[in-house]
Amino acid sequence: MKLSLGIDAGGTYTDAVIVENSKNEILASSKALTTYPDPLEGIRNVLNSLDQSILGQVEIVSVSTTLSTNTILEGTGFPVGLILVGDYHISTNLPTEHYIQVNGGHDHRGAQANPLDEDAVRKFALSVKDKVAAFAVSSYFSIRNHEHELKVKDIVRESTGMPVVCAHELSQDLGAFERAVTAFFNAQLIPITEKFMTSVESEIRSRGMDAKIFMLKCDGSVIGIKNALEKPIESIFSGPAGSLVGASFLSKRDSCAVIDVGGTSTDVSVIYDGVPQMSDAGAVVGGWKTRVKAIKMETSALGGDSDIWVGAAKMTIGPRRVIPLCRAAVKYPEFLEQLTNNPMPSRGIIGMNFQPTKFFIRTDYEPIDLSNYEAELLEAISKTPTSVREIRNRLNKLPTNKHLDMLMQKRLIQPINFTPTDALHALGDYTEYSVEASRIGAQHLGSMCRMEGKEFAEHVKNEFTKNMAADLVSFFLEDNSKEEVRKTFDTNSPIKFKIEIPVVLIGGPVVAYLEGMRDLIDAEMILPEFASVGNAAGALAAKGVRRVEMLIRPVSMAAPDWEFYVYSEKGRESFDEYEEAVEHALRLGDETIHKYMKDANMDSDSVKIEVKKDELFMENSNTLIETRIVVLGVAEHTEKDE
């Protein structure tokens, strides 16, 4: 009997399932709170709650996580220095203040456009090395020639000894700015992913488990742990990818839409005939367009742990993730009394950070690049819940919104406040933690909206359900804004949206929203058994997939039959004959896929290879303009029986 272990470390909960492979049967499941900022304790807790005799028989471990996604959504990634090489036209703010644009880059054929300004690169690296945790570089047309990106990587490493991510290592798609954003987020996530995967592997090995370890990617496939550490950006949306594959697995529906309600976000995706629908463009997260291949998904920064705050008698949900009052009251015995006696902020300062239910705690992260005031403010916040009034008394002045936000962005403090999870506790729909704390919070915020506590909690639940419904509908109505779709659920009308495929709900207390969704949407709503651990199940239901894309073009259209370039992940190579170029591309694709599967500890002998070849000719002519070749390899992430 072969057993596999699936682990999903989300923003709120860490889930685990053990599956018997031959029958695809779940033998055991468990949940534990994700520990922040180090997930190791949460992973250890969830594994401790499983049957240890069964756990010892596990041969494969597959992991999914929303930690990378949440890091980008919340803007709490590590600081990165970004180096842009070439003639970029930047029409928007960059995701970092530490960046430089230097001369260099190549043209669309891979020829050098301008020499690389090595001195500018070296000077910039030395000037910001104490302010960042890693570097990212994107060079113009680096997908045609990697030379300048690799040179920048060498210079930065020699100057600082710090990690550097090159854009060409992550994507072969056009779009220099999007590749730069992709490289930036990859660099930002390296420390977080390394800590996470190292924690997982350490815990698995400490239990004597000689299991192969995989990580779920955002396209619904899996990779080995080594590859996951090299390209952590590919783990963004791995949680939602896990929920999609897991929902199909648990509901036994090859085609379905999925709503995954997590702690930080709500995600909608769809699978047809067992194949996840992929996005035509790169993944978009936190408003940033990347070049990462991912499932098509509608995501909103609204989850069970979303911050609920009241300003000018209006209730707002999210986008920040906080610790719910109900959980804080369980973890910190003094908190209930603090919450009960916390005064109402004056009307002039009420806002997201100034609420009668808002508290802050200090995390274990080490401070980096703090101003004097930030250091003073951090010192005024304890590792137990600290109110704004306490902070003011310790500073002898009121803390500023800006600097509280800065400390949260740097992960040095974490807020506590009322959440949708608290609303469910106040209503009795979900009572795992302190119901009393949630009811006190509902009363405090309700009074600001001229509502009773229960009425306020019901209002929060209804608004959250409407947001879920709007996310689902706007996923399918791509040409309509989510805001316009959302307005339709506030009108008193007999019109109802109908969805022809089943809708599967995945997440912790998602059962609380089931009837509300049925009232709003005409569709078969399914709540499968083990819905609360759907992501962990999905991590095991995925396969190993590797896609290799190559482009063949004549060196010169003046002599289109004489010499050809092959552009690939390996760079630019030239061949005298077209057939020789095609043969090389096919061989390179096959070798790259088998090496990838071998490095990922997959059974490379069982890989299924598919080749797609598209030739583009000049109109009314046999003259070849370009040939696009895609080699796709798919393998189960188990080894064949000996």
Q: What are phi and psi of 228, to 5 degrees?
A: -65, -35
pLDDT of residue 283: 59
Does the pLDDT of residue 454 top 90, yes or no? Answer: yes
Of 440, 456, 472, the one marking the end of a domain is 456
Which residues, in sequence order, are CB contacts of 262 under 8 Å at separation 6+?
10, 11, 12, 66, 239, 303, 304, 507
Residue 351 lies in a domain: yes
User: End of a domain among 456, 483, 508?
Assistant: 456
Q: If you write DSSP's letter for every residue of 132-151 in order, what string do you get? A: -SEEEEEETTTTT--HHHHH
**Looking at 80-89, 359-368, 532-541, which range is the least confident one?**
532-541
Q: Are residues 437 and 569 in the same domain?
A: no
> Looking at 423, 441, 456, which one is the last position of a domain?
456
Q: What is the pLDDT of residues 472-481, one digit of tens each?
A: 998 888 778 8
Is 157 buried (19+), middle (13-18) or exposed (0-12) by CB count in 10 A?
middle
For 12-52, what is each residue's pLDDT tens digit? 788 898 988 777 788 888 988 887 767 778 889 999 999 88
Is the residue at 439 inside a domain?
Answer: yes
Residue 554 lies in a domain: yes
**Into how many domains does the chain fold?**
2
Look at residue 518 in the predicted model and tell me its pLDDT: 94
386: in domain: yes
SS3 190: helix
Residues 6+ apart with CB under 8 A from 307: 317, 318, 319, 320, 321, 322, 352, 415, 417, 419
**Are 327 and 445 members of one domain?**
yes
Identify the domain containing residue 558 by its residue range. Answer: 543-635
Do residues 432 and 561 both lie within one domain?
no
Residue 265 domain flag: no
Q: What distances in angstroms separate CA 105 from CA 51, 153, 285, 399, 562, one per listed residue?
A: 56, 14, 27, 46, 27
Q: Is the pLDDT of residue 579 over 70?
A: yes
Residues 549 and 409 in one domain: no
- pLDDT band for position 527 (cuts 50, 70, 90): very high
Residue 14 in domain: no
In a domain, 556, yes or no: yes
Whether residue 446 sits in one domain with residue 312: yes
Residues 313 and 452 in one domain: yes
Query: In terms of domains, do 315 and 423 share one?
Result: yes
Handedness of CA 498, 252, 67, 277 (dihedral sign): negative
- Whether residues 441 and 316 fall in one domain: yes
Mean pLDDT value across the chain: 84
- Entry pTM: 0.69
Task: Classify residue 159 by burial, with Cβ atoms within 10 Å: 0-12, 13-18, 19+.
Answer: middle
Residue 195 burial (CB < 10 Å; 0-12/13-18/19+)? middle
For the stretch 414-444, pLDDT in tens is 999 999 999 999 999 999 999 999 999 999 9
Same domain for 445 and 336: yes
pLDDT exceeds 90 at position 621: no
> Is residue 353 a part of any domain in this protein?
yes
Q: Above 50 in pLDDT, residue 641? A: no
